[in-house]
């Protein structure tokens, strides 16, 4: 059964009635879950179900937003307009700032009814405005698309050489490479992914895991082809070494 069908037929019809459901939170590409990219029509079908029951779609773009996937927000890849978007992290390029973006009819509360201690810090807000300008002026989304396509191609070539690589997926500069103990069973190579991470770090390449066994590639949007090649040289050498231990 499709996941979206399960949401309607099982979750909403049996366990959590639509009238008791205010909103559904989604990540267009899962972050900590393993950089998982949904099927092409997943979000369009999901949005129809949510609209049917007047449930809001909240799009979590904390990791995938601000040009990371080659678009301002990753949900744009599927031509779906969420009701609410959340963004942070890259929004102010490291300065502490988060933002909630919503349709006018949703943001109808009285002034002062929603606040937080450090909200609207002027220095962080100025940083965010500068980030937005730089992304546009220096065409960093175009660079994310171009360099991401190259990085994806190189990683898929590695997948053909090393059975320990079970999958390569992503968009722009948000790419996940899943490690497996067996290419047929897809058994997660959890310990091996940690070994790869630690060995890469000792060799000068900072890379971290997500999910059970996924290596995530999320370099800065300004990355160059030369830097990608240098990083991949370290990564492939490490993969080759760790893969040999599985034999």
Same-domain status, 166 and 81: no
Same-domain status, 60 and 158: no
Same-domain status, 84 and 201: no
List the CATH number of the domain containing 88: 3.40.640.10
Same-domain status, 51 and 145: no
- The answer to whether residues 187 and 107 touch, using CB atoms and an 8 Å cutoff, is no
- The answer to whether residues 213 and 205 touch, using CB atoms and an 8 Å cutoff, is no
Q: In the listed set 137, 160, 181, which residue is the last one of a domain according to the structure?
A: 137
d(CA 178, CA 193): 8
Q: Look at residue 110 in the predicted model and tell me its pLDDT.
A: 83
Q: Look at residue 246 in the predicted model and tell me its pLDDT.
A: 84
DSSP 169: E
d(CA 42, CA 65): 19
pLDDT beneath 70: ranges in the chain: 1-2
Same-domain status, 106 and 199: no
Same-domain status, 52 and 79: yes
Q: In the listed set 82, 117, 137, which residue is the last one of a domain according to the structure?
A: 137
- The answer to whether residues 167 and 28 touch, using CB atoms and an 8 Å cutoff, is no
Residues forming beta bridges with residue 60, ordered by sequence position? 86
Q: In the listed set 88, 110, 137, which residue is the last one of a domain according to the structure?
A: 137
d(CA 144, CA 152): 11
Q: What global pTM score does this model have? A: 0.93
For 226, the domain range is 140-244
* 158 φ, ψ (degrees, to nearest 5): -65, -35
Same-domain status, 15 and 122: yes
Q: Work out how many domains the chain is built from and give that number.
A: 2
Per residue in 186-203, pLDDT (tens digit) is 999 999 999 999 999 999
Same-domain status, 130 and 150: no
Per residue in 9-22, pLDDT (tens digit) is 888 998 889 999 99
């Amino acid at each position: 059964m499709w996941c979206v069908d399960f949401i309607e037929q099982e979750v909403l019809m049996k366990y959590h009635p639509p009238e008791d459901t205010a909103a559904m939170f989604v990540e267009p590409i899962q972050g900590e879950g393993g950089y998982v990219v949904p099927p092409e029509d997943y979000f369009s079908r999901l949005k129809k179900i949510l609209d049917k029951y007047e449930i809001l779609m909240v799009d979590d773009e904390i990791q995938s937003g601000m040009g990371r996937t080659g678009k301002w927000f990753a949900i744009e890849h599927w031509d779906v307009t969420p009701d609410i978007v959340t963004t942070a992290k890259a929004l102010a390029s490291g300065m502490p700032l988060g933002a909630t973006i919503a349709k006018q009819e949703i943001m109808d509360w009285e002034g002062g009814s929603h606040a937080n201690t450090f909200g609207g810090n002027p220095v962080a807000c100025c940083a965010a405005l500068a980030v937005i300008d730089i992304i546009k002026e220096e065409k960093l989304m175009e660079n994310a698309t171009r360099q991401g396509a190259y990085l994806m191609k190189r990683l898929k070539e590695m997948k053909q050489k090393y059975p320990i690589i079970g999958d390569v997926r992503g968009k722009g500069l948000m790419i996940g490479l899943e490690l497996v103990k067996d290419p047929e069973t897809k058994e997660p190579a959890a310990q091996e992914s940690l070994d790869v991470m630690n060995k890469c770090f000792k060799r000068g390449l900072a890379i971290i895991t997500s999910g059970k066994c996924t290596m995530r590639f999320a370099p800065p949007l300004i990355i160059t082809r030369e830097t990608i090649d240098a990083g991949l040289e370290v990564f492939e050498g490490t993969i080759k070494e760790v893969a040999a231990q599985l034999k």
